[in-house]
Chains A and B, each alone.
Chain A
Amino acid sequence: MTPLAVSIVGALASFTLVLVVLELVRSRRLRERYALLWLLTGLTLTALSAWRNGLNTIAGWVGVRGYPPAVLFAVGILFILAVLLHYSTVISRLSDQNVVLAQRLALLEEQLVERATSER
Protein backbone atom coordinates (compact mmCIF):
# COMPACT_ATOMS: atom_id res chain seq x y z
CA MET A 1 0.00 0.00 0.00
CA THR A 2 1.00 3.59 -0.56
CA PRO A 3 1.70 5.38 2.74
CA LEU A 4 -0.86 8.14 3.35
CA ALA A 5 1.87 10.73 3.96
CA VAL A 6 3.38 10.04 0.54
CA SER A 7 0.01 10.58 -1.11
CA ILE A 8 -0.59 13.85 0.69
CA VAL A 9 2.87 15.28 0.11
CA GLY A 10 2.88 14.09 -3.49
CA ALA A 11 -0.51 15.63 -4.25
CA LEU A 12 0.38 18.94 -2.56
CA ALA A 13 3.72 19.20 -4.35
CA SER A 14 2.29 18.42 -7.77
CA PHE A 15 -0.63 20.73 -7.32
CA THR A 16 1.75 23.49 -6.29
CA LEU A 17 3.51 22.92 -9.61
CA VAL A 18 0.20 23.47 -11.42
CA LEU A 19 -0.42 26.72 -9.54
CA VAL A 20 3.10 28.01 -10.16
CA VAL A 21 2.78 27.30 -13.88
CA LEU A 22 -0.57 29.10 -14.05
CA GLU A 23 0.88 32.10 -12.23
CA LEU A 24 3.85 32.21 -14.60
CA VAL A 25 1.47 32.24 -17.54
CA ARG A 26 -0.65 34.93 -15.94
CA SER A 27 2.33 37.19 -15.35
CA ARG A 28 3.46 36.49 -18.92
CA ARG A 29 6.74 34.89 -17.99
CA LEU A 30 5.70 31.61 -19.59
CA ARG A 31 3.89 31.23 -22.90
CA GLU A 32 0.78 29.06 -23.04
CA ARG A 33 2.47 26.92 -25.65
CA TYR A 34 5.28 25.92 -23.30
CA ALA A 35 3.05 25.73 -20.26
CA LEU A 36 0.86 22.93 -21.60
CA LEU A 37 3.37 20.12 -21.05
CA TRP A 38 4.12 21.34 -17.55
CA LEU A 39 0.42 21.50 -16.73
CA LEU A 40 -0.08 17.96 -18.02
CA THR A 41 2.82 16.86 -15.80
CA GLY A 42 1.43 18.56 -12.74
CA LEU A 43 -2.13 17.38 -13.24
CA THR A 44 -1.13 13.76 -13.92
CA LEU A 45 1.08 13.61 -10.85
CA THR A 46 -1.61 15.24 -8.73
CA ALA A 47 -4.16 12.71 -9.92
CA LEU A 48 -1.84 9.73 -9.35
CA SER A 49 -0.92 10.95 -5.87
CA ALA A 50 -4.47 11.66 -4.74
CA TRP A 51 -6.09 8.61 -6.31
CA ARG A 52 -4.50 6.01 -4.07
CA ASN A 53 -6.35 2.95 -5.37
CA GLY A 54 -5.47 3.91 -8.90
CA LEU A 55 -1.79 4.13 -8.06
CA ASN A 56 -1.87 0.71 -6.43
CA THR A 57 -3.68 -0.78 -9.40
CA ILE A 58 -1.28 0.70 -11.90
CA ALA A 59 1.64 -0.51 -9.79
CA GLY A 60 0.12 -3.98 -10.00
CA TRP A 61 -0.14 -3.76 -13.80
CA VAL A 62 3.43 -2.77 -14.34
CA GLY A 63 4.71 -5.34 -11.87
CA VAL A 64 5.81 -3.02 -9.09
CA ARG A 65 5.30 -5.00 -5.90
CA GLY A 66 5.88 -3.70 -2.42
CA TYR A 67 6.23 0.03 -3.00
CA PRO A 68 3.59 1.60 -5.31
CA PRO A 69 4.94 5.19 -5.03
CA ALA A 70 7.81 4.01 -7.24
CA VAL A 71 5.29 4.38 -10.06
CA LEU A 72 4.94 8.02 -9.08
CA PHE A 73 8.68 8.54 -9.51
CA ALA A 74 8.70 6.68 -12.80
CA VAL A 75 5.87 8.78 -14.22
CA GLY A 76 7.48 11.95 -12.91
CA ILE A 77 10.80 11.08 -14.55
CA LEU A 78 9.05 10.22 -17.80
CA PHE A 79 7.40 13.63 -17.91
CA ILE A 80 10.63 15.42 -17.06
CA LEU A 81 12.30 13.61 -19.94
CA ALA A 82 9.47 14.67 -22.23
CA VAL A 83 9.77 18.30 -21.16
CA LEU A 84 13.56 18.23 -21.63
CA LEU A 85 13.29 16.67 -25.06
CA HIS A 86 10.69 19.25 -26.02
CA TYR A 87 12.99 22.03 -24.90
CA SER A 88 15.88 20.58 -26.87
CA THR A 89 13.77 20.88 -30.01
CA VAL A 90 12.81 24.41 -29.04
CA ILE A 91 16.43 25.40 -28.51
CA SER A 92 17.42 23.86 -31.83
CA ARG A 93 14.75 25.89 -33.60
CA LEU A 94 15.79 29.05 -31.78
CA SER A 95 19.45 28.68 -32.73
CA ASP A 96 18.53 28.03 -36.36
CA GLN A 97 16.43 31.18 -36.37
CA ASN A 98 19.23 33.08 -34.69
CA VAL A 99 21.58 32.21 -37.52
CA VAL A 100 19.05 33.41 -40.08
CA LEU A 101 18.55 36.66 -38.16
CA ALA A 102 22.28 37.35 -37.95
CA GLN A 103 22.71 36.68 -41.67
CA ARG A 104 19.83 38.93 -42.61
CA LEU A 105 21.23 41.66 -40.37
CA ALA A 106 24.67 41.43 -41.98
CA LEU A 107 23.15 41.66 -45.46
CA LEU A 108 21.05 44.66 -44.44
CA GLU A 109 24.03 46.40 -42.91
CA GLU A 110 26.02 45.88 -46.09
CA GLN A 111 23.17 47.38 -48.10
CA LEU A 112 23.08 50.45 -45.86
CA VAL A 113 26.83 51.01 -46.08
CA GLU A 114 26.69 50.49 -49.84
CA ARG A 115 23.92 53.06 -50.15
CA ALA A 116 25.71 55.58 -47.95
CA THR A 117 28.95 55.36 -49.93
CA SER A 118 27.23 55.55 -53.33
CA GLU A 119 25.40 58.71 -52.22
CA ARG A 120 28.61 60.53 -51.53
Chain B
Amino acid sequence: MSDTIVDASRAATLPGLAELRRVAIVPALNEEHAVAAVVAELRAFDPGMDIVVVDDGSVDRTSAVATASGARVLRLPFNLGIGGAVQTGFRYAYEHGYDLAVRLDGDGQHDARQLGIVIEPVLRGEADIVVGSRFAATGQGYRSSRTRRIGIRLLAWVVSRIVGQRVTDTTSGFQALNREGIALFARDYPHDYPEVEATVMVFRHRLRLREVPVSMRERAGGRSSITALRSIYYMVKVLLAIFVGLFRRNVVPQEDSS
Protein backbone atom coordinates (compact mmCIF):
# COMPACT_ATOMS: atom_id res chain seq x y z
CA MET B 1 0.00 0.00 0.00
CA SER B 2 1.52 3.29 -1.01
CA ASP B 3 0.86 6.11 1.34
CA THR B 4 1.99 8.92 -0.88
CA ILE B 5 0.56 12.26 0.01
CA VAL B 6 -0.91 13.81 -3.09
CA ASP B 7 -0.67 17.53 -3.59
CA ALA B 8 -4.37 17.87 -3.38
CA SER B 9 -4.83 21.58 -3.84
CA ARG B 10 -5.91 20.94 -7.43
CA ALA B 11 -8.43 18.33 -8.39
CA ALA B 12 -6.44 17.37 -11.47
CA THR B 13 -3.95 15.54 -9.27
CA LEU B 14 -6.62 13.24 -7.90
CA PRO B 15 -6.79 10.05 -9.94
CA GLY B 16 -10.27 8.98 -10.94
CA LEU B 17 -12.03 12.18 -9.99
CA ALA B 18 -12.51 13.39 -13.56
CA GLU B 19 -14.67 10.38 -14.43
CA LEU B 20 -17.12 11.03 -11.61
CA ARG B 21 -20.16 13.27 -11.72
CA ARG B 22 -19.48 15.57 -8.81
CA VAL B 23 -21.21 18.42 -7.09
CA ALA B 24 -20.43 20.88 -4.33
CA ILE B 25 -23.22 21.74 -1.91
CA VAL B 26 -22.86 25.14 -0.28
CA PRO B 27 -25.43 26.17 2.34
CA ALA B 28 -25.63 29.94 2.69
CA LEU B 29 -27.68 32.17 4.92
CA ASN B 30 -27.01 35.88 4.43
CA GLU B 31 -23.52 35.33 3.03
CA GLU B 32 -23.50 37.94 0.26
CA HIS B 33 -19.96 38.97 1.21
CA ALA B 34 -18.49 35.50 1.32
CA VAL B 35 -20.30 33.25 -1.13
CA ALA B 36 -18.74 34.53 -4.36
CA ALA B 37 -15.24 33.81 -3.08
CA VAL B 38 -16.31 30.31 -2.06
CA VAL B 39 -17.65 29.61 -5.54
CA ALA B 40 -14.48 31.01 -7.14
CA GLU B 41 -12.29 28.83 -4.93
CA LEU B 42 -14.32 25.76 -5.82
CA ARG B 43 -13.90 26.58 -9.51
CA ALA B 44 -10.17 26.98 -9.07
CA PHE B 45 -9.97 23.66 -7.30
CA ASP B 46 -12.04 21.72 -9.83
CA PRO B 47 -13.56 23.39 -12.90
CA GLY B 48 -15.52 20.22 -13.64
CA MET B 49 -17.43 20.25 -10.38
CA ASP B 50 -21.00 21.52 -10.39
CA ILE B 51 -21.70 24.01 -7.65
CA VAL B 52 -25.05 24.29 -5.92
CA VAL B 53 -25.61 27.08 -3.44
CA VAL B 54 -28.57 26.50 -1.16
CA ASP B 55 -29.89 29.91 -0.19
CA ASP B 56 -31.68 29.29 3.06
CA GLY B 57 -34.09 32.20 3.00
CA SER B 58 -31.46 34.95 3.04
CA VAL B 59 -32.66 38.53 3.32
CA ASP B 60 -29.58 39.91 1.62
CA ARG B 61 -28.27 39.47 -1.94
CA THR B 62 -26.87 35.98 -1.42
CA SER B 63 -28.94 34.47 -4.26
CA ALA B 64 -28.05 37.17 -6.75
CA VAL B 65 -24.36 37.08 -5.88
CA ALA B 66 -24.23 33.30 -6.12
CA THR B 67 -26.05 33.27 -9.46
CA ALA B 68 -23.74 35.96 -10.82
CA SER B 69 -20.71 33.92 -9.78
CA GLY B 70 -22.02 31.08 -11.91
CA ALA B 71 -23.33 28.69 -9.31
CA ARG B 72 -26.67 26.99 -9.52
CA VAL B 73 -28.87 28.35 -6.76
CA LEU B 74 -31.62 26.58 -4.87
CA ARG B 75 -33.57 29.35 -3.24
CA LEU B 76 -35.61 28.14 -0.32
CA PRO B 77 -38.80 30.16 0.22
CA PHE B 78 -38.00 30.61 3.91
CA ASN B 79 -35.34 29.65 6.40
CA LEU B 80 -35.30 25.92 7.01
CA GLY B 81 -32.27 25.86 9.27
CA ILE B 82 -28.96 24.37 8.36
CA GLY B 83 -30.19 20.74 8.42
CA GLY B 84 -33.08 21.33 6.04
CA ALA B 85 -30.93 23.53 3.81
CA VAL B 86 -28.14 21.01 3.44
CA GLN B 87 -30.57 18.18 2.87
CA THR B 88 -32.04 20.12 -0.04
CA GLY B 89 -28.58 19.92 -1.57
CA PHE B 90 -28.29 16.20 -0.90
CA ARG B 91 -31.71 15.63 -2.50
CA TYR B 92 -30.55 17.56 -5.54
CA ALA B 93 -27.37 15.50 -5.73
CA TYR B 94 -29.30 12.29 -5.33
CA GLU B 95 -32.00 13.05 -7.89
CA HIS B 96 -29.48 14.25 -10.45
CA GLY B 97 -27.45 11.10 -10.09
CA TYR B 98 -24.19 12.53 -8.79
CA ASP B 99 -21.52 10.03 -7.76
CA LEU B 100 -19.71 12.34 -5.40
CA ALA B 101 -20.78 15.31 -3.34
CA VAL B 102 -18.77 17.65 -1.20
CA ARG B 103 -20.29 20.00 1.26
CA LEU B 104 -18.75 23.16 2.58
CA ASP B 105 -19.98 26.30 4.29
CA GLY B 106 -20.90 29.42 2.36
CA ASP B 107 -19.18 31.67 4.90
CA GLY B 108 -15.74 30.88 3.55
CA GLN B 109 -14.45 29.06 6.62
CA HIS B 110 -13.74 25.90 4.69
CA ASP B 111 -10.77 26.10 2.38
CA ALA B 112 -11.61 24.57 -1.00
CA ARG B 113 -7.89 23.95 -1.61
CA GLN B 114 -8.06 21.32 1.11
CA LEU B 115 -10.91 19.49 -0.60
CA GLY B 116 -8.43 17.03 -2.07
CA ILE B 117 -7.60 15.72 1.38
CA VAL B 118 -11.29 15.24 2.10
CA ILE B 119 -12.16 13.66 -1.24
CA GLU B 120 -9.26 11.23 -1.42
CA PRO B 121 -10.53 8.47 0.91
CA VAL B 122 -13.86 8.47 -0.95
CA LEU B 123 -12.08 8.16 -4.28
CA ARG B 124 -10.03 5.24 -3.01
CA GLY B 125 -13.21 3.56 -1.84
CA GLU B 126 -12.00 3.59 1.75
CA ALA B 127 -14.89 5.57 3.19
CA ASP B 128 -18.45 6.52 2.32
CA ILE B 129 -18.29 9.80 4.17
CA VAL B 130 -15.21 11.81 4.99
CA VAL B 131 -15.27 14.67 7.47
CA GLY B 132 -12.64 17.38 7.66
CA SER B 133 -11.78 17.77 11.32
CA ARG B 134 -10.23 20.77 13.00
CA PHE B 135 -9.03 18.67 15.89
CA ALA B 136 -7.81 15.46 14.28
CA ALA B 137 -4.29 16.79 13.87
CA THR B 138 -2.42 16.88 17.14
CA GLY B 139 -0.94 20.07 18.45
CA GLN B 140 -2.74 22.39 16.08
CA GLY B 141 -5.63 24.20 17.65
CA TYR B 142 -8.64 25.95 16.21
CA ARG B 143 -9.57 29.12 17.99
CA SER B 144 -13.17 29.51 19.03
CA SER B 145 -14.91 30.45 22.24
CA ARG B 146 -14.12 28.29 25.25
CA THR B 147 -17.68 27.15 25.92
CA ARG B 148 -17.99 26.13 22.32
CA ARG B 149 -14.75 24.15 22.41
CA ILE B 150 -15.88 22.36 25.55
CA GLY B 151 -19.22 21.60 23.91
CA ILE B 152 -17.59 20.21 20.80
CA ARG B 153 -15.24 18.10 22.93
CA LEU B 154 -18.06 16.74 25.06
CA LEU B 155 -20.16 15.81 22.04
CA ALA B 156 -17.13 14.26 20.37
CA TRP B 157 -16.54 12.16 23.45
CA VAL B 158 -20.17 10.98 23.66
CA VAL B 159 -20.27 10.18 19.96
CA SER B 160 -16.94 8.35 20.06
CA ARG B 161 -18.23 6.14 22.87
CA ILE B 162 -21.41 5.32 20.97
CA VAL B 163 -19.90 4.58 17.60
CA GLY B 164 -16.77 2.89 18.93
CA GLN B 165 -14.40 4.92 16.77
CA ARG B 166 -12.49 8.06 17.65
CA VAL B 167 -14.36 11.08 16.34
CA THR B 168 -12.86 14.48 17.13
CA ASP B 169 -15.01 17.03 15.33
CA THR B 170 -18.70 16.22 15.29
CA THR B 171 -19.75 19.70 14.24
CA SER B 172 -17.77 19.99 11.03
CA GLY B 173 -19.69 20.74 7.87
CA PHE B 174 -16.68 20.11 5.62
CA GLN B 175 -17.43 16.75 4.06
CA ALA B 176 -17.23 14.50 1.03
CA LEU B 177 -19.70 11.69 0.33
CA ASN B 178 -20.05 8.93 -2.21
CA ARG B 179 -23.34 7.83 -3.73
CA GLU B 180 -24.30 5.79 -0.69
CA GLY B 181 -23.67 8.70 1.63
CA ILE B 182 -25.70 10.99 -0.62
CA ALA B 183 -28.56 8.49 -0.69
CA LEU B 184 -28.65 8.20 3.08
CA PHE B 185 -28.66 11.94 3.72
CA ALA B 186 -31.12 12.63 0.91
CA ARG B 187 -33.54 10.30 2.61
CA ASP B 188 -32.93 11.15 6.22
CA TYR B 189 -31.11 14.09 7.71
CA PRO B 190 -31.52 15.61 11.15
CA HIS B 191 -32.98 19.08 11.66
CA ASP B 192 -31.69 22.06 13.62
CA TYR B 193 -28.11 21.13 14.43
CA PRO B 194 -27.58 18.16 12.19
CA GLU B 195 -23.92 17.15 12.14
CA VAL B 196 -23.67 15.35 15.46
CA GLU B 197 -26.75 13.22 14.91
CA ALA B 198 -25.76 12.61 11.34
CA THR B 199 -22.46 11.15 12.52
CA VAL B 200 -24.22 8.64 14.73
CA MET B 201 -26.70 7.90 11.95
CA VAL B 202 -23.90 7.11 9.52
CA PHE B 203 -22.54 4.45 11.84
CA ARG B 204 -25.93 2.99 12.56
CA HIS B 205 -26.45 2.53 8.86
CA ARG B 206 -23.08 0.80 8.69
CA LEU B 207 -21.54 3.31 6.36
CA ARG B 208 -17.84 3.99 6.76
CA LEU B 209 -16.91 7.38 8.16
CA ARG B 210 -13.39 8.73 8.18
CA GLU B 211 -11.98 11.91 9.64
CA VAL B 212 -9.11 13.75 8.06
CA PRO B 213 -7.28 16.73 9.55
CA VAL B 214 -7.97 20.10 7.95
CA SER B 215 -7.53 23.65 9.08
CA MET B 216 -10.42 26.08 9.00
CA ARG B 217 -10.42 29.83 8.79
CA GLU B 218 -11.94 32.24 11.22
CA ARG B 219 -15.14 33.81 10.05
CA ALA B 220 -14.53 36.15 7.10
CA GLY B 221 -17.68 38.19 7.57
CA GLY B 222 -21.18 37.99 8.94
CA ARG B 223 -22.00 36.66 12.35
CA SER B 224 -21.96 33.22 13.95
CA SER B 225 -25.32 31.67 14.64
CA ILE B 226 -24.14 30.04 17.83
CA THR B 227 -24.91 32.24 20.83
CA ALA B 228 -24.62 31.23 24.47
CA LEU B 229 -28.30 30.46 24.95
CA ARG B 230 -28.47 28.55 21.72
CA SER B 231 -25.50 26.42 22.72
CA ILE B 232 -27.46 25.18 25.71
CA TYR B 233 -30.43 24.34 23.52
CA TYR B 234 -28.01 22.76 21.07
CA MET B 235 -26.48 20.48 23.71
CA VAL B 236 -29.77 19.38 25.25
CA LYS B 237 -31.46 18.84 21.91
CA VAL B 238 -28.56 16.92 20.40
CA LEU B 239 -28.03 14.74 23.48
CA LEU B 240 -31.75 13.94 23.57
CA ALA B 241 -31.73 13.10 19.88
CA ILE B 242 -28.68 10.86 20.20
CA PHE B 243 -30.04 9.12 23.27
CA VAL B 244 -33.49 8.48 21.80
CA GLY B 245 -31.96 7.59 18.45
CA LEU B 246 -30.18 4.68 20.08
CA PHE B 247 -33.53 3.01 20.63
CA ARG B 248 -34.62 3.36 17.04
CA ARG B 249 -34.49 0.34 14.84
CA ASN B 250 -31.65 0.25 12.40
CA VAL B 251 -32.61 1.03 8.83
CA VAL B 252 -30.48 0.10 5.89
CA PRO B 253 -30.42 2.71 3.15
CA GLN B 254 -31.89 1.73 -0.18
CA GLU B 255 -31.33 3.63 -3.36
CA ASP B 256 -34.90 3.42 -4.60
CA SER B 257 -36.79 4.72 -1.58
CA SER B 258 -37.16 8.39 -0.95
Contact = CB atoms under 8 A, between A and B. Distances in A.
Interface of A: 22, 25-26, 28, 31-33, 35-36, 39, 96-97, 100-101, 104
Given A26-B247, A26-B248, A35 B240 contact: yes
Contacts of B237: 32-33, 36
Interface string B199-234: 000000000000000000000000000000000010
A30 to B, nearest CB: 10
A26 B247 CA distance: 7
Given A33-B192, A33-B237, A26 B78 contact: no
Given A26-B248, A31-B191, A36 B240 contact: yes
A40 B60 CA distance: 37
B199 to A, nearest CB: 16
24 contacts: A22-B244, A25-B241, A25-B244, A26-B244, A26-B247, A26-B248, A31-B191, A32-B191, A32-B192, A32-B240, A32-B241, A32-B244, A33-B192, A35-B240, A36-B236, A36-B237, A36-B240, A96-B78, A97-B77, A97-B78, A100-B77, A100-B78, A101-B77, A104-B77
Interface string B77-91: 110000000000000
A26 B244 CA distance: 6
Contacts of B233: 36
Contacts of B241: 25, 32
Nearest to A27: B248
A97 B191 CA distance: 17
Interface residues of B, number: 12
A79 B27 CA distance: 36
A26 B240 CA distance: 10
Contacts of A97: 77-78
Interface string B171-208: 00000000000000000000110000000000000000
Which 8 A-B residue pairs are closest in the complex by CB-CB distance? Answer: A32-B241, A25-B244, A100-B77, A104-B77, A26-B244, A26-B247, A32-B237, A97-B78
A36 B237 CA distance: 7
Nearest to A102: B77
Among A26, A28, A36, chain B packs the most CB atoms within 10 A around the CB of A26
Contacts of B240: 25, 32, 35-36, 39
Contacts of A36: 233, 236-237, 240
A39 B236 CA distance: 11
Contacts of B247: 26
A32 B234 CA distance: 11
Contacts of A39: 240
B64 to A, nearest CB: 17
